[in-house]
Structure 1
Amino acid sequence: MTTIDDRPVLVVTNLDDPTADLVIVELHDRGVPVVRFDAGDFPATLSCSAFIGDTDGWRGSVRTPSRRAELGSVRSMYYRRPSGFAFPHLDKQDERFAVAQARYGLGGILTSLPDCLYVNHPHRIGDAEYKPAGLAAAAAAGFVLPPTLITNVPGDAQAFIKKYGPVIFKPISVPLYLVGGKAQTVPVTEVTADEIDDSVTGTVHLFQKRVDKVADVRVTVIAEQTFPVRIDSGLLDWRTDYGTHTYTPLVAPPGVERSMRAYLRHFGLVFGAFDFALTDSGEWVFIECNPSGQWAWMEPPTGLPMTAALADLLEGGLRDQ
């Protein structure tokens, strides 16, 4: 007799997430129940009740107007990019209080579900999003790194540029940045020593030796599967114009594969989107790893089955680990 597994997959993300949409369609076609919500919809259209005491884990439910998920029977959670909690009807002090209760209350419940596979766990995502921690982990994992300086001291920045130039500047973290109401990408830019002034003292900046690259590589790692893709664009920052790209599936060198596995183990991740600069000599230079990175746009031109791989992972839950 075949046992029907009716445990749901939770997909926690914002409304506009086409990558999550693809995974949800794949799961739906397999008959896997899915409950999708944006944590930022709490409490307007999202509610939660949870109990613990004479049980071995949280029991209760999280509910949307059309879905309900029992907390003790969630097989996996695909945690993508939910919007933040907001209580705009409250004054600033009360809003800070309410946001803290939501973050540590609802957020704490969602990060401590029993027998749930997280892709990825929100706490592990938070750890890995610290770029200095990522660079340190990459060095320890054996990756080749470009010389990098993080500073708010203008003289140190100038000295670094003079020693290692050409040098690029890029953000350490990129919160939502709106121009005319539209989200913007803050691009990587080349910077010279004479462009450095006292404004550098205002916050921390990241400067990095520009890699003399012939192409970029994005490697999407989903559990035990690895999907490397060469991106030819001719751009310093390939994210600034996707219309220039050509994509070619690759095989990662064994040393790079080992280093990626070590990096993911370090942060406790089961998914990672690695970026490398590929040099003329064939060296893969580590740039970063995004624990919530995009991948779906590369699937149609390459034919790589990334949606299916992620659905396999979520469908299997911890029982397949």
Structure 2
Amino acid sequence: MNGSRPVLVVTSLHDPTADVVIRELHDRDIPVVRLDSGDFPASLSVEAQITSHGIQGHISTPSRTAVLATVRSLYYRRPSGFAFPHLDEQDARFAVTQARYGLGGLLASLPGCLYVNHPHRIGDAEFKPSGLAVAVEAGFDVPPTLITSSPHAARAFIKRHTPVIYKPLWNPVYLIDGVSSVVEVAEVASEDIDERVAGTTHLFQQLVPKAADVRVTVIGSRVFCVRIDSGLLDWRTDYSRLAYTPVDLPPGIEQALHHYLDRFGLVFGAFDFCVGDDGRWWFLECNPSGQWYWLESETGLPMCAALADLLERKT
């Protein structure tokens, strides 16, 4: 094999994007150890010591063992959470915290490891207020945005910036008649606002009249830019209506992309922009664990190879 330094892939069992990356790494003769935190402790074990030479030990699955000090990179995707269903509620809560801060802490502290991305940095970047503030700092255009629990502030913002959309600050899955559903981005009017707004925080943002959307995927030093035409307010609601075109970045955008990622300590990011009727690009969000492989299938852009290069530490 290409040395004995493995790539750790931390994700759930059913992750087709991770599957194609692992296949690419296998084709390059790069050893891979795939694991899911949800497999601990039933089929995943860890043994490590803190020494004068750093963390020494190994992590094992039923088919693979990785020596922690030799891990070349860690691809952190979307693992399932720790769970101890055989324990009562209080003991399970204790066990989950020990697993998170023990096994999770080890995986976040590997010496000489390249993280794509580091789980703690992912957590930092997933807070929308932080992302929007850093986007402004990086030089992106950001639509006027309000985060509030005040019905009065929400109504005033909508009147001042009409048309306005509502966005969830985080999108937990709702089960409706057993089907997974999410809260969609939607246009909102001042008369839609009532006292229920005071129950939690909400994000309101001016709606930019748009000609198209753009997904920009940054993989290390490589940047892949795809225009998405749909006619939809939120293109993620109906993939059958999407048309894809690889496009070039406008001047200044690439530098801002890398500024944003550097600010959060990330090497991968899936950025969403909308393109206004006047051609101006507006930053919407950056997902540090965003999906990307479907865009390669649609456009032929070599994104999987770029990610494998990064994990191999070829670039």
Q: 2:174 aligned with 1:199, yes or no?
A: no
Partner residue of 1:149 out of 124, 146, 150: 146
Count of aligned positions: 315
| Residues 115-150 of structure 1, C-alpha deviations (whole Å, 9 max, x = no match) | 110000011101100100000000111100000000
Structure 2 counterpart of 1:166: 163
What secondary structure is seen at the aligned counterpart in 2 of 1:146? coil
Cα distance in 1 for residues equivalent to 2:65 and 2:39: 15
Structure 1 counterpart of 2:221: 224
Cα distance in 2 for residues equivalent to 1:262 and 1:4: 33
Structure 1 counterpart of 2:44: 46
Structure 2 counterpart of 1:249: 246
Structure 1 counterpart of 2:278: 281
Structure 2 counterpart of 1:299: 296
Q: CA deviation at 1:183?
A: 2.8
Instruction: Please say if residues 172 and 182 of structure 2, whose CA atoms lie closer than 8 Å, have aligned partners that are also in contact.
Output: no
Q: What's the C-alpha RMSD, in Å, of the aligned pairs?
A: 1.2
Q: CA deviation at 1:292?
A: 0.4
Structure 2 counterpart of 1:25: 23
Runs of 4 or more above 6 Å deviation: none
Structure 2 counterpart of 1:63: 60
Identity within the alignment, %: 65
Instruction: Please say if residues 185 and 240 of structure 1, whose CA atoms lie closer than 8 Å, have aligned partners that are also in contact.
Output: no
Change (3 A) 1:50 1:303: same
What secondary structure is seen at the aligned counterpart in 1 of 2:51? coil
Cα distance in 2 for residues equivalent to 1:63 and 1:179: 38
Cα distance in 2 for residues equivalent to 1:161 and 1:178: 30
Q: CA deviation at 1:184?
A: 2.4
What secondary structure is seen at the aligned counterpart in 2 of 1:5? coil
| Residues 225-247 of structure 1, C-alpha deviations (whole Å, 9 max, x = no match) | 00000000110000000000000
Q: 2:302 aligned with 1:310, yes or no?
A: no
The code of the aligned residue for 1:270 comes to: V
**TM-score, normalising length: structure 1:** 0.95
Instruction: Please say if residues 2 and 29 of structure 2, whose CA atoms lie closer than 8 Å, have aligned partners that are also in contact.
Output: no
Structure 2 counterpart of 1:34: 32
Change (3 A) 1:15 1:183: farther
Q: CA deviation at 1:182?
A: 3.4
**TM-score, normalising length: structure 2:** 0.97
Q: 2:104 aligned with 1:103, yes or no?
A: no
Q: Which runs of 5+ in 2 are unaligned?
A: none
